[in-house]
Structure 1
Amino acid sequence: MKLLSHPLARALGLALGIAALSPAQAQDYPSRNVTIVVPFGAGGGVDITARLLAEKLRTTLGGTVIVENKAGGSGMIGAQAVTKAAPDGHTLLLGSAGETAINPFVYKGRMQYDPTKDLVPVTLVVRVPNVLVVANKLPVKNTEELIAHAKKNPGKLSYSTSGVGNPQHLNGELLEELGGVFMVHIPYRGAAAQLVDVTSGLVDMTFVSYTAAKSFIQAGKVKPIAVTSPTRASFAPELPALAEHKPLAKYALENWFGLFAPAGTPDAVVQKLNAAVTAALKDPELAKKLREQGGEPAPMSPQQFKDFIKKESVQFERIVTSAKITAE
């Protein structure tokens, strides 16, 4: 007892106690409702993915899983809320590449959290390639013709995205870099407006999710050119990848959605969550629904996901720095 009265001994005892509790926590987890925070509004890609996943997790994880939207601040309000939640696995974040891997380079010191320190990667859920579509009036029908046309008209072609510094914007910057072209970026507040202005010809092209563009493509209101993934996407195999055009062979930049927990969440709980999500994503029905939404299911181990984010961040930082992208 004397030994335990020493501050260092008490601290050591507490640490050992926490470590000993972790497996028990995992066995009893979840002990109440699990909330998946979506840092964007209802109806978008992250929200739909979260709701589809939550429905399946009620079986693979057990218990009630609900989705809560906390939109604003380019996804950072919801993400920050999760960093402040109890680290017990009952409050999670389904985050996109923006607020977890790109924003630190765009907003720099203005962020109120550090994704690498305040969040624990659980697993990648889906990779979400964007699709490049152009106005019908544009005299091009494939990537090669688009690049050639852009080179003949430097600074005259415009492309819309849903904001500054997000994956769509980086898609445009990467196309300019690898294609050796100069275009004008026009940021919008959402997919609907950016697509409508392409259909009217007010804007020449846009990078957008396949889900948002699908009805416009099917109605013949825009011309699909390619997807931004390194290879063709299973949900639209008829569309080539930009990388199939030889000068763009190194082109690969996708959005992605992944599950995160607050820093300090016991590893045993993280591993249980990872197993539950992996099992959910192996369900053919859920995988089919996710692909219909333009997502490619891609579960990873927590360490693989951590390494994936680190690798992605290298490219994001390089593009943001090279293009001198900063948020107002």
Structure 2
Amino acid sequence: MFNVRRQLLLTAMCMAAGMGVSAPASAQEFPNKTLTIVVPFSAGGGVDTIARLLAEKLRATLKQNVIVDNKAGGSGMIGAMAVVKAAPDGYTLLLGSAGETAINAFVYKNKMQYSPSKDLAPITLVTRIPNVLVVSPAFPAKNIEELVAYAKKNPGKVAYSTSGVGNPQHLNGELLEELAGIHMVHIPYKGAAGQLIDVVSGNVDMTFVSYTAAKGFIKDGKVKAIAVTSAKRTSFAPDIAAIAEYKPLANYQLENWFGLFAPAGTPDDVLQKLNAAVTQAIKDPELAKKLQDQGGEPAPMSTQQFRDFIKTESVQFQRIVDTAKITAE
């Protein structure tokens, strides 16, 4: 009887040891099935376009099928929540923007059903998306210095449009008001088309919007490009000055950005393999050019660099949201 029990014990130990050895092996074999990149916005938008460009490159790099799944709604939070609830195995990923991964927690507060810092594992930053500040042709300013001077002489009379409350465009306006010491009126729209058309018509003085959405209007002379919101001029529109070039606004910098995330608890070696694959894809000259054509600056980072980046960005976002008392219903 003793020998039988001893044999059973040895067998169980061997099985346990075998299981301990096989777990890392499964991670080393990653990926061995289709990966899904969840886009928390509708098809055809900027995030969706970049996700599909990235998926195309990752199929070759990872030698697996990579599909894009659009789960729009809730200011990006429905799609993010779907990834939070997914198995932490690296097969369901989120291409998220600054909104649902770093801003909404301060705007929506306890209305959010997940914590970006606790429930999502950063993989890498993919691209930074500066907004461009454009004004109507009739607006009496051709650069940021003249715009600030005009706004100071006309407090509360300059109106700017954005695609919603509490998003990076809105924060661009609030930061400009704070650093320049001016007071403007924020008019939120439900998309870039409406916010731009009303600037073209002169119903609204100016807007913060992606360069991709505005470049056709800029080229046709329907709006005037005043400045970009990045710290320096961009590679895709080097003729447009940065707001920070105006010395009183030297500290101005606020961009939207898109990054790749996995559910919290995803094994670190899987995160590192994904980071390496995405970094390789982004550094490909063909994809880098396509990202620039979308108004983005390719910006791959290590997982730790991306975590640190999000923390730094979140500090600025929270300060602006709290100072401006921004809340969303």
How far does residue 30 in structure 1 lie from its aligned partner after superposition? 1.4
- Matched residue, 2:264: 263
Q: Which amino acid aligns with 1:273?
A: L
Q: Partner of 2:275: helix, strand, or coil?
A: helix
How far does residue 24 in structure 1 lie from its aligned partner after superposition? 1.7
Residue 65 (structure 1) aligned with residue 81 (structure 2): no
Superposition pairs of residues 141-180 of structure 1, within 5 angstroms: 141-180=142-181
How far does residue 22 in structure 1 lie from its aligned partner after superposition? 5.0
- Matched residue, 2:245: 244
Q: Partner of 2:93: helix, strand, or coil?
A: strand
How far does residue 60 in structure 1 lie from its aligned partner after superposition? 1.2
Residue 229 (structure 1) aligned with residue 230 (structure 2): yes
The separation in 1 between residues aligned to 2:127 and 2:206, in whole angstroms, is 25
Q: CA RMSD in A?
A: 1.8
Q: Which amino acid aligns with 2:108?
A: Y
The separation in 1 between residues aligned to 2:135 and 2:81, in whole angstroms, is 36
> C-alpha offsets along residues 251-302 of structure 1, whole Å, 9 cap, x if unaligned?
0000000000001111111000000000001100100000000010000011
The separation in 1 between residues aligned to 2:93 and 2:25, in whole angstroms, is 20
Q: Partner of 1:185: helix, strand, or coil?
A: strand
Q: Which amino acid aligns with 2:126?
A: V
- Matched residue, 1:318: 319
Q: Which amino acid aligns with 1:226?
A: A
The separation in 2 between residues aligned to 1:259 and 1:183, in whole angstroms, is 34
- Matched residue, 2:213: 212
In structure 1, stretches of 5+ residues that fail to align are: none
Q: Partner of 1:116: helix, strand, or coil?
A: helix
- Matched residue, 1:121: 122
> C-alpha offsets along residues 163-218 of structure 1, whole Å, 9 cap, x if unaligned?
10000000000000001100000001100110000000001000000000011101
The separation in 1 between residues aligned to 2:27 and 2:246, in whole angstroms, is 49
- Whether the 8 Å contact between 1:36 and 1:94 is mirrored in structure 2 is yes
The separation in 2 between residues aligned to 1:24 and 1:44, in whole angstroms, is 38
The separation in 2 between residues aligned to 1:151 and 1:76, in whole angstroms, is 37
The separation in 2 between residues aligned to 1:54 and 1:29, in whole angstroms, is 16
The separation in 2 between residues aligned to 1:62 and 1:135, in whole angstroms, is 48
- Matched residue, 1:34: 35
How far does residue 21 in structure 1 lie from its aligned partner after superposition? 4.5
Q: Which amino acid aligns with 2:250?
A: A
Q: TM-score, normalised by structure 1?
A: 0.94
- Whether the 8 Å contact between 1:22 and 1:268 is mirrored in structure 2 is no
- Matched residue, 1:130: 131
Superposition pairs of residues 231-310 of structure 1, within 5 angstroms: 231-310=232-311
Superposition pairs of residues 64-143 of structure 1, within 5 angstroms: 64-143=65-144
- Matched residue, 1:52: 53
How far does residue 27 in structure 1 lie from its aligned partner after superposition? 2.4
The separation in 2 between residues aligned to 1:21 and 1:76, in whole angstroms, is 36
Q: Partner of 1:88: helix, strand, or coil?
A: coil
Number of matched pairs: 320
- Matched residue, 1:186: 187
Q: Partner of 2:139: helix, strand, or coil?
A: coil
Q: Partner of 1:208: helix, strand, or coil?
A: strand
The separation in 2 between residues aligned to 1:139 and 1:232, in whole angstroms, is 23
The separation in 1 between residues aligned to 2:146 and 2:226, in whole angstroms, is 10
Q: Partner of 2:94: helix, strand, or coil?
A: strand
Q: Partner of 1:260: helix, strand, or coil?
A: strand
The separation in 2 between residues aligned to 1:229 and 1:178, in whole angstroms, is 15
> C-alpha offsets along residues 48-79 of structure 1, whole Å, 9 cap, x if unaligned?
11000000001112210010100000000000
Q: Give % identity.
A: 74
Q: 1:21 to 1:109 in 2, by over 3 A?
A: farther
- Whether the 8 Å contact between 1:159 and 1:204 is mirrored in structure 2 is yes
Superposition pairs of residues 12-31 of structure 1, within 5 angstroms: 20-21=21-22, 23-31=24-32
The separation in 2 between residues aligned to 1:283 and 1:51, in whole angstroms, is 15
The separation in 2 between residues aligned to 1:201 and 1:181, in whole angstroms, is 21
How far does residue 23 in structure 1 lie from its aligned partner after superposition? 3.4
In structure 2, stretches of 5+ residues that fail to align are: none
> C-alpha offsets along residues 295-322 of structure 1, whole Å, 9 cap, x if unaligned?
1000001111000000000000000000
Q: 1:166 to 1:17 in 2, by over 3 A?
A: farther
Ranges of 4+ aligned residues in structure 1 off by more than 6 Å: none
Q: Partner of 2:41: helix, strand, or coil?
A: coil
